[in-house]
């Protein structure tokens, strides 16, 4: 069973964040610059929300608001699911699928230690299944 901690060691634990008082334009600009789809919203070291490309399209574009005049706190998601480092990758996949979100912060105590995307989770699950297939093929070939 692969854990979140193992996945973060492979992927890296960089976490990009923004202040709730920043503009939505600044958040989108940072996401584009970093090539990511979501930012944690932090007040100091405390996570207060998350803002994603989905928040932008649904709460700015579709409502004809202006990203340069709107603060992140006005559109961020405040009910943020998160997991501890010892959570299994499989459990993360279930959580993300059930609640339909694509970015999952990893929190150890009260400290954010990483962020996973659905792509990270899927790549890990696929790699784990491929390894199992290879092991079974080797076993069958050795038994024949």
> Domain containing 33: what range?
4-143
pLDDT digits 0-9 by tens, 34-43? 999 999 999 9
In this prediction the pTM is 0.86
Distance from chain centroid for Cα 105: 6
- Please give the tally of structural domains in the chain: 1
CATH number at residue 62: 3.10.580.10
| Pairwise pLDDT comparison (110 vs 106), residue with the higher score | 106
* CB-CB contact of 110 with 27 (8 Å): no
Distance CA 82, CA 105 (A): 5
Query: Do the beta carbons of residue 80 and residue 58 sit within 8 Å?
Result: no
Mean pLDDT on 36-60: 96
On the CB side of 92, CA atoms within 13 Å amount to 30
Please give the pLDDT value at position 131. Answer: 87
Could you tell me the pLDDT band of residue 138, with boundaries at 50, 70 and 90?
confident
């Amino acid at each position: 069973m692969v854990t979140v901690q193992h996945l973060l060691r492979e992927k890296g634990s960089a976490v990009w964040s923004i202040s709730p008082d920043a503009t939505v334009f600044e958040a989108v600009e940072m996401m584009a610059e970093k090539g990511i789809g979501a930012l944690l919203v932090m007040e100091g070291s405390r996570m207060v929300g998350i803002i994603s490309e989905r928040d932008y399209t649904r709460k700015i574009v579709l409502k004809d608001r202006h990203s340069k005049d709107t603060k992140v706190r006005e559109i961020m998601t405040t009910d943020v699911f998160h997991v501890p480092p010892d959570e299994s990758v499989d459990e993360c996949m279930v959580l993300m699928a059930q609640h339909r979100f694509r970015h999952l912060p990893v929190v150890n105590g009260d400290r954010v230690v990483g962020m996973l995307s659905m792509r990270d989770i899927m790549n890990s699950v696929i790699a784990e299944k491929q390894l199992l297939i290879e092991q079974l093929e080797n076993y069958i070939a050795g038994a024949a």
